[in-house]
Amino acid sequence: MDHPPPIRAENLCKTYQTRQRKGLFKSQKSTVEALQNVDLEVKTGEIFGLLGPNGAGKTTLIKILNTLLLPTSGEAWVNGYHVLREENKVRASTGCMLMGERGLYWKLTGRENLEYFGALYHLNPVQRKQRSNEIITLLNLGELADRSVETYSSGQKMKLAFGKALVNDAPLLVLDEPTNTLDVPSASELRTIVRNLNHQGKTVIYTTHIMSEAETLCDRVAIIDRGQLLALGTVSELKTSLQQDQVTHFEGVISAQAESSLRKIPEVLQTSRSSQDGKALLTVVSAAGQSNLPRLIETLTGQGAILQKITTQEPTLEDVFVAKTGRTLAQDTSIK
Amino acid sequence: MNTQANISAMLASTRMRLQFLSRYPGQLVMDLVLPIVLAAMPIFLGSAGGASNAEAVFEANTGTSNYVAYLLIGSAVLNLVTNAFWHMAYWLRREQELGTLETLYQAPTPRIWIAGGTAIYSAVRSVSTAILAYGIGCWIMHVDPFTGEVGLALIFVLVGLIPLYSLTLLFGAVILKVKEANALVSLMQWVVIFLMGVYYPITIFPPLVKLLSLLFPPTWMTNGVRAALLGVGYFFGTWYKDLAVLWIFMLITPWLGWWVFTRVENNVRRNEGMGQY
């Protein structure tokens, strides 16, 4: 029998009422459309990135999938369980890090936190201790484990919050911006742990507004903005889907005839020639991105060109985001 | 459903609250001192103003001349009741403010078990400190604390705890929605003091207020304890009839409390979510 996908969402919508303050005692009700007709399916064993600026709707989506919010309309299943009708099964089959360091009891020690959450995830006392020790070792929290959480640094608290998500050893991990407040080495260490857990078979939903993180870690990425899912695919699919002009530099022995053949290709928008150290440098601007590159090379070499160096300016995920949303992520989040 | 695992989670919640208390042990001193101080003020006022026939006047109105123990019982039960509201209200509010409420909602243990764990913690803390405060108060005021039927008094307390903590769920629902605990608990505290007859018998109330008072389970708890220990009259004449009323409260209020709480909870989840505070 086929396993159900870890996440399936159909036509998911969420609107809620909010109040806008209009002075000391006045306020006005307004409606926020946090999610609009989101369809989504996450595959077993992948790291799935949800990319979007603050307020895009990614946390709302995650919260609905974790049964914390009720959708206004639409349906969703987590590990085959319906988010409205089988809430407790959804919760039991998911390891979740949502609130970061705010999801912990600061007056308790790290170990006490892990053991308490172990109990809430129905581990017996022996399993709780064992699992807590495993997590403490995995996250290298040994020296901190018996200190109250309030004495931890922000990064250490984030690590413990991540550890809390591992307590029930669930097949699905939902991590909402887990590297927030972590320093560079700690963030890198955490990503390595996530990757290892993924290699051990866990499916990971990873929300972030850090492009490089999504690019290096995620198998597939969904771009979400203003409650709408704007794009979904692997990082390279998203990049190649960009119908933007691509600039390619060809260096070597390139005849005028080869350049002229190149111009006959409809996607080639512009060519320019210069010379550098006695070699020809041909700069080609073409449409349809990298998919066109093999044809360009074939045409040039077919006309006797000897190519010594090819450099392209590859689009980044940031370019994809700009193309889909019309603005940069940095503008929305102030994260450079 | 995995009841054993839920019970284990409930007891873990109780243990966790006790761990919290161990970080703030000064709270226990407050629990012990407050009922004695609250009783001492009317006791001294009564002694000063009642003159030589104070005990006789008091007995004529209440059924016991032991006004010291009467007031100490009233303030001990009051402390138990207000603690229940403070502990449950503050638990919910603090979880909401700290961000841990959402974390609790992510776990598969149903909320009723987690709330139950907090209620057990609160009950253990409040009952033990109320009994201790009553004992210390009686010792300070030179009154015998163990007159009457101590076992029956304890039964009234224990049976009364269930409707009491069920009422805190109703109260919790309000806090979940309006996101305010301080003002609400403070207001509730004075309503409780007024209605349950901490310093006076409710027989002196006008009929409508008396009816309201009788709809409040702690009124029956307080009077049951006083009747068992001091021999003041039961509302229905015999202990088992009064206890039966508490049993009826015990059967109705948990369902009512949970029904209201889950409705409000769903309303919150349908809109802004549990995390907003």
Higher pLDDT, A99 or A217: A217
**Pairing relation of β-strands A279-286 and A228-234?**
unpaired
> Residues of A with CB below 8 A from B20's CB?
105, 107-108
Q: Report the CATH fold assignment for A246-312.
A: Alpha-Beta Plaits (3.30.70)
* Average predicted confidence (pLDDT) for chain A: 86
DSSP letter string, B98-131 = HTHHHHHHHSSS-HHHHHHHHHHHHHHHHHHHHH
* Interface confidence (ipTM) of the complex: 0.84
Taking an 8 Å cut-off on Cβ atoms, the answer to whether B271 and A94 are in contact is no
For residue A282, the cross-strand partners are A250, A273
Taking an 8 Å cut-off on Cβ atoms, the answer to whether B106 and A98 are in contact is yes
The amino acid sitting at B262 is T
Q: Is residue B181 one of the residues assigned to a domain?
A: yes
Higher pLDDT, A229 or A18: A229
DSSP A332: H
The amino acid sitting at B157 is V
Rounded CA separation A295/A157 (Å): 52
Q: What is the mean pLDDT of residues A182-186?
A: 85
pLDDT number for residue B252: 93
Q: Which residue matches tokens 């989504």?
A: A40
Count of domains in chain B? 1
> Residues of B with CB below 8 A from A33's CB?
none
Taking an 8 Å cut-off on Cβ atoms, the answer to whether B269 and A96 are in contact is no
The amino acid sitting at B13 is S
Best residue in A17, A120, A148, A174 for a mutation probing chain B (most B CBs within 10 Å): A120
Contacts of residue B136, defined as CB under 8 A and 6 or more positions apart, other chains included, come to B32, B36
Q: Is residue B276 one of the residues assigned to a domain?
A: no
User: What is the token pair recorded at A306?
Assistant: 């000897």
Taking an 8 Å cut-off on Cβ atoms, the answer to whether A99 and B103 are in contact is yes
Among all residues of chain B, which has the CA nearest to that of A69? Answer: B269
pLDDT number for residue A86: 93
User: What is the token pair recorded at A177?
Assistant: 């911006």
pLDDT digits (tens, 9 = 90+) for B44-63: 887 777 667 777 777 887 77
- Identify the three-state secondary structure at position A48: strand
Picking from A98-102, A155-159, A172-176, B6-10, which range would have the lowest pLDDT averaged per residue? A98-102
C-alpha distances (whole Å) from A220 to each of A43, A48, A205, A237 are: 9, 5, 10, 9
pLDDT digits (tens, 9 = 90+) for A272-288: 788 777 788 888 877 76
- Has residue A193 got a pLDDT over 70? yes
Picking from A22-36, B74-88, B100-114, B244-258, which range would have the lowest pLDDT averaged per residue? A22-36
Higher pLDDT, A3 or B140: B140
Q: Which residue matches tokens 């407040």?
A: A181
- Identify the three-state secondary structure at position A14: strand
Which residues of A lie closer than 8 Å to B, measured between beta carbons? Answer: 16-18, 63, 66-70, 72, 88-89, 91-92, 94, 96, 98-99, 102-108, 112, 115-117, 119-122, 124-125, 148, 164
Instruction: For residue A74, name the pLDDT band (cuts at 50, 70, 90).
Output: very high
- Has residue B262 got a pLDDT over 70? yes
pLDDT digits (tens, 9 = 90+) for A254-276: 888 888 888 888 888 777 788 77
Taking an 8 Å cut-off on Cβ atoms, the answer to whether B269 and A122 are in contact is no
DSSP letter string, A113-153 = HHHHHHHHTT--HHHHHHHHHHHHHHTT-TTTTTSBGGGS-
| Other residues' Cβ atoms within 10 Å of the Cβ of residue A1 | 3
Q: Which of B100, B108, B274 sits opposite A122 (nearest CB)?
A: B108
pLDDT number for residue A244: 63
- Has residue B158 got a pLDDT over 50? yes
Q: Is residue B225 one of the residues assigned to a domain?
A: yes
> Of A198-202, A223-227, B51-55, which one has max mean pLDDT?
A198-202
pLDDT digits (tens, 9 = 90+) for A105-155: 999 999 999 999 999 999 999 999 999 999 999 998 988 999 999 999 888
* Average predicted confidence (pLDDT) for chain B: 86
Taking an 8 Å cut-off on Cβ atoms, the answer to whether A69 and B273 are in contact is yes
Taking an 8 Å cut-off on Cβ atoms, the answer to whether A122 and B8 are in contact is yes
Alpha-carbon distance A333 to nearest alpha carbon in chain B (angstroms): 21
- Has residue A1 got a pLDDT over 60? no
Rounded CA separation A73/A15 (Å): 9
pLDDT digits (tens, 9 = 90+) for B26-42: 888 888 888 888 888 88
pLDDT number for residue A335: 39
Q: Which of A70, A88, A125 sits opposite B108 (nearest CB)?
A: A88
pLDDT number for residue B45: 80
User: What is the token pair recorded at B45?
Assistant: 């006022």
Closest CA to A335 of A232, A181, A215, A157: A181
Rounded CA separation B215/B163 (Å): 11
The amino acid sitting at A207 is T
For residue A78, the cross-strand partners are A7, A81
- Identify the three-state secondary structure at position A157: helix
For residue A193, the cross-strand partners are none
pLDDT number for residue A245: 65
pLDDT number for residue B53: 73
For chain A, the residue count is 336
- Has residue A332 got a pLDDT over 70? no
User: What is the token pair recorded at A298?
Assistant: 């074939």
How many CA atoms lie less than 13 Å away from B254 in the CB half-sphere? 14
pLDDT number for residue A333: 46
CB of B122 closer than 8 Å to CB of B88:
yes
- Has residue A70 got a pLDDT over 80? yes
Report CA dihedral (A71, A74, A75, A78) to the nearest 10 degrees.
-60
pLDDT digits (tens, 9 = 90+) for B163-185: 999 988 888 888 888 877 778 87
